[in-house]
A = this chain, B = another copy of it.
Amino acid sequence: MAGTVTVPGSSVPSTPLLKDELDIVIPTIRNLDFLEMWRPFFQPYHLIIVQDGDPSKVIKVPEGFDYELYNRNDINRILGPKASCISFKDSACRCFGYMVSKKKYVFTIDDDCFVAKDPSGKDINALEQHIKNLLSPSTPFFFNTLYDPYREGADFVRGYPFSLREGAPTAVSHGLWLNIPDYDAPTQMVKPRERNSRYVDAVLTIPKGTLFPMCGMNLAFDRQLIGPAMYFGLMGDGQPIGRYDDMWAGWCVKVICDHLSLGVKTGLPYLWHSKASNPFLNLKKEYKGIFWQEDIIPFFQNASLSKECDTVQKCYISLSEQVKEKLGKIDPYFVKLADAMVTWIEAWDELNPSDTVVAAGNGKAAAK
């Protein structure tokens, strides 16, 4: 990357990329010892810690990190009645951190995720790779068979239209996991010993019109481009469903990115996901989602946004109306969720008054 000097023998850039333009958002219920392993990569950045569960519990953060921490009392105080849109006892609470961030970029990570190694044995600086992904364009309109054409040593292959080679601005970078794969409860139960050891050295754009299962474990995005759509829904305490927070966000985000000609990438970087969550507990959280998603996905595949939806906020409000009308028939939960989507946008705009004028992507990105 331009402007970065890498210290020989180290994968830590001497000037961290986007140091003052990126927040790391971490939802947690425990002490953040996992940060020790990330210290070389995360310490230059500001952390936003969203404490879930009992607010009287004290979360220890290793020394030397610059952070702000919000517990449920803080969320209630800051958002007032609008705090109802932020989930409790579920990692979906992390999206509160997206809302209070004042930076252009956000990286979010789970506290059971550690630094992975690439096939050469080198520690992977996941954050640096996410930043590279976000700062280079995406290619949502046509598929490049050699993967990311903006990567060093790669390009567009024969037959790739020249008019599309500027690409589109990248809104989302979705990273993957070595060791414990992100499986649902039934798959966890059927394959309790399966581990992901395959390092696929690629970043690719998810084509326009294609939905994907977005996982919140290892995720970065451009708040200015897509932030208001990064709502993790109503999950956990008092809700009939869990473990669909990131999926919900991913469906909404992808539909809106497609409408606004923004790109979504997946692939590198990997991190090390250390432990599988309890499949029995997961099944309890997921089971409604497992059958609801059979209707939700066709709903999002067919959702349409009008020309008037030229900001993320307008797109999101339009989606909330469609959710209420179409998914509300499946279960009253979706009526509540649709209302929460509106509340989320109101809260976002209250905390981010200048963001509402962000123009929609126009399909143009900085040239390679």
Interface residues of A (CB under 8 A from B): 119, 142-147, 153-163, 174, 176, 181-184, 186-187, 191, 194-202, 204, 206-215, 243-244, 246-247, 250, 266, 286, 290, 293-294, 297
Contact = CB atoms under 8 A, between A and B. Distances in A.
Given A207-B209, A209-B209, 7 more contacts: A119-B119, A143-B211, A146-B176, A157-B181, A157-B184, A157-B213, A159-B214
B163 A183 contact: no
B191 A145 contact: no
Nearest to A206: B143
Contacts of A243: 158
Contact of A153 (B119, B142, B194, B213): B194
A183 B210 contact: no
Contacts of A199: 201
Most chain B CB inside 10 Å of its own CB: which residue of A161, A176, A183: A161
B247 A145 contact: no
A186 B158 CA distance: 9
A143 B297 contact: no
B154 A196 contact: yes
Contact of A201 (B155, B183, B186, B201): B201
A286 to B, nearest CB: 8
Contacts of A158: 182-184, 187, 213, 215, 243, 247, 286
A90 B266 CA distance: 38
A279 B164 CA distance: 22
Contacts of A153: 194-198
A189 to B, nearest CB: 12
Contact of A212 (B143, B208, B209): B143
Nearest to A211: B142
A193 to B, nearest CB: 11
Contacts of A194: 153, 155
Given A146-B181, A155-B187, A200-B147, A160 B213 contact: yes
A155 B214 CA distance: 15
A210 B210 contact: yes
Contact of A247 (B144, B159, B293): B159
A226 to B, nearest CB: 18
Nearest to A175: B145
B209 A210 contact: yes
14 contacts: A145-B215, A145-B266, A153-B196, A155-B187, A156-B183, A157-B213, A158-B182, A158-B286, A159-B213, A159-B246, A159-B293, A160-B184, A206-B207, A208-B210
A66 to B, nearest CB: 32
A186 B159 CA distance: 11
A144 B200 CA distance: 13
Contacts of A209: 207, 209-210
A163 B297 CA distance: 11
Contacts of A297: 142, 161
Contacts of A191: 155
A152 to B, nearest CB: 10
A175 to B, nearest CB: 10
Contacts of A142: 210-213, 297
Contacts of A196: 146, 153-154
A206 B290 CA distance: 25
A199 B202 CA distance: 9
